[in-house]
């Protein structure tokens, strides 16, 4: 009845794996988790009945299909554990993980080859049906139980560290998914002991819920990336009017010629960084066109307006930039500037952007329109 949970959960994992592929391939720090998602989605997919049936058309002996799936799932569990350790900067466990996996795989092959002739590697309903020995299943299930539980614990512990809130939540959801996988192996151990068909009914829904938790947890970094992209886009557009006027007056500060194709190929964050640099360089050029009298008039004008205290500096900057643009446009010569007009010192790019955004908002404010009207009225 809940079989759809498994199918949709695995499909969601594949969607997330594809969505994260560009970042996973490009960013070395993101690659381990992305590879883990791909391996989990692949391992879950090959256990679906349609996939097993398709493999049956390619390989006539179903016994070898079963054994290959089991061996691949061991590789998958070891790889995921390795990827999670790598994401948590615990690379020292690599040798232990893969040596243990190789030992388990070798033991499974030996147990399979030593068993009486059997058509499938499945838990048989009765002792009369030939199959692999119980040791095969105990070893197989316990390895997965330990690997998945370890993954879940590492994700939860790593998720408590000083990481962004959404990323922390993503790690915990992904870790919950791997702990649900541990529940699946516990259920299979119970079935191995009891052979109760009631236990089998839980295999598919638990797998589906596990897949959904992993998919949602792995998708949250994509959400963070989309939110950051939207924030960069909004900032880039808010700076556009100020940037356009300043670079039109000082075209030499533009780092590269206006080329829409080249600009579209450049990452948005890099374009925003370039725009900040060009605005700052233009401000350095234009400040030499501000006379002491003009600067004094700017301070008087801002003091007369109802400008909040924390925005006074931004409005002063927007006004003296307007005065400088007007002076340059009217052909007045530059002169050496002794007053510091750079604004408050910025600790990093984020502070710099916040300051320029306040200036850009002030540049479009009613206060500045009043100042422009006063400049026009005072023009000879």
Q: Average pLDDT, stretch 274-290?
A: 91
State the DSSP code for 14: H
Cα separation of 148 and 293, whole Å?
72
Q: Give CA torsion, residues 337, 341, 347, 349, to 10 deg.
A: -100
Calculate what percentage of the chain has a pLDDT beyond 90.
34
Are 21 and 147 in a shared domain?
A: yes
Strands in the chain per DSSP E: none
Domain end among 177, 203, 229: 229
* Backbone dihedral angles phi then psi of residue 312, each to the nearest 5 degrees: -60, -45
Q: Given 229, 257, 282, which residue is the final one in a domain?
A: 229
Which pLDDT band, with edges at 50, 70 and 90, does 141 fall under?
A: very high
User: 219 and 73 share a domain?
Assistant: yes
Is residue 234 included in any domain, yes or no? no
Q: Of 208, 229, 250, which one is at a domain's C-terminal end?
A: 229
Lowest mean per-residue pLDDT among 72-81, 114-123, 211-220, 331-340: 331-340
C-alpha distances (whole Å) from 33 to each of 161, 167, 175 are: 17, 12, 12
Domain, as residue range, for 310: 239-378
Same structural domain, 280 and 206 = no
**269 and 151 together in one domain:** no
Number of domains into which the chain is organized: 2
Query: What sign for the dihedral angle of Cα 134, 136, 139, 140?
Result: negative
- Per-residue pLDDT of 65-103, as tens digits, reads 888 889 989 998 898 888 888 766 677 778 888 999 999
Together in a domain, 159 and 303: no
pLDDT of amino acid 118: 81
C-alpha distances (whole Å) from 140 to each of 94, 102, 126, 179 are 20, 12, 20, 17
Residues 101 and 211 in one domain: yes
Per-residue pLDDT tens for 324-333?
A: 998 888 888 8
Instruction: Please give the pLDDT value at position 161.
Output: 60
Please, is 254 exposed, middle or buried when counting C-beta atoms within 10 Å of its C-beta (0-12, 13-18, 19+)? middle
Angle at 218 between CA 91 and CA 82, to 5 degrees: 20
Residue 363 above 60 pLDDT? yes
Is 150 in the same domain as 282? no
Q: Are residue 45 and residue 139 in the same domain, yes or no?
A: yes
Which candidate, 92, 90, 212, 228, places its Cα nearest to that of 164?
228
| Whether the predicted pLDDT of 235 surpasses 90 | yes
Regarding predicted confidence, which is higher, 340 or 168?
168
| Whether residue 89 is found in the same domain as residue 185 | yes
Instruction: Indicate whether 134 belongs to any domain.
Output: yes
Q: Same domain, yes or no, for 21 and 54? A: yes
In a domain, 102, yes or no: yes
Answer whether 258's CB lies under 8 Å from 207's CB: no
Q: What is the pLDDT of residue 52?
A: 77
Check whether 292 has a pLDDT greater than 90.
Answer: no
């Amino acid at each position: 009845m809940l079989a759809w949970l498994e199918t949709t959960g695995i499909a969601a994992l594949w969607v997330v794996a594809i969505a994260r592929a560009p970042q996973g391939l490009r960013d070395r720090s993101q690659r381990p988790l992305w590879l883990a998602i791909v391996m989990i989605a692949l391992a879950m997919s090959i256990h679906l009945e349609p996939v097993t049936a398709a493999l049956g058309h390619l390989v006539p002996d179903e016994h070898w299909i079963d054994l290959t799936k089991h061996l691949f799932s061991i590789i998958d569990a070891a790889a995921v554990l390795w990827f999670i350790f790598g994401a948590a900067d615990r690379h020292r466990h690599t040798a232990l993980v893969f040596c243990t996996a190789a030992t388990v795989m070798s033991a499974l092959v030996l147990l399979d080859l030593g068993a009486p002739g059997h058509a499938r590697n499945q838990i048989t309903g009765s002792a009369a049906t030939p199959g692999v020995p119980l040791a095969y299943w105990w070893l197989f299930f316990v390895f997965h139980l330990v690997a998945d539980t370890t993954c879940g614990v590492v994700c939860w512990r790593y998720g408590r560290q000083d990481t962004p809130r959404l990323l922390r939540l993503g790690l915990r959801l992904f870790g919950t998914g791997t702990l649900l996988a541990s529940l699946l192996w516990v259920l299979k151990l119970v079935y191995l002991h009891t052979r109760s068909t009631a236990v089998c009914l839980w295999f598919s829904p638990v797998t589906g819920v596990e897949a959904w938790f992993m998919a949602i947890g792995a998708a949250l970094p994509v959400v963070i990336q989309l939110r950051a992209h939207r924030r960069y886009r909004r900032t880039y557009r808010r700076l556009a009017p100020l940037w356009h006027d300043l670079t039109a007056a000082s075209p030499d500060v533009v780092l590269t010629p206006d080329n829409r194709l080249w600009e579209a190929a450049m990452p948005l964050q890099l374009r925003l960084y370039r725009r900040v640099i060009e605005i700052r360089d233009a401000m350095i050029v234009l400040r030499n066109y501000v006379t002491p009298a003009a600067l004094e008039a700017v301070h008087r004008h801002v003091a007369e307006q109802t400008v909040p205290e924390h925005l006074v500096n931004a409005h002063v900057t927007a006004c003296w930039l307007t005065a400088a643009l007007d002076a340059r446009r009217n052909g007045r010569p530059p002169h050496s500037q002794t007053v510091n007009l750079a604004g408050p010192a910025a600790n990093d790019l984020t502070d710099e952007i916040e300051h320029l955004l306040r200036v850009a908002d002030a540049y479009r404010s009613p206060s500045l329109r009043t100042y422009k009207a006063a400049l026009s009225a005072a023009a000879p």
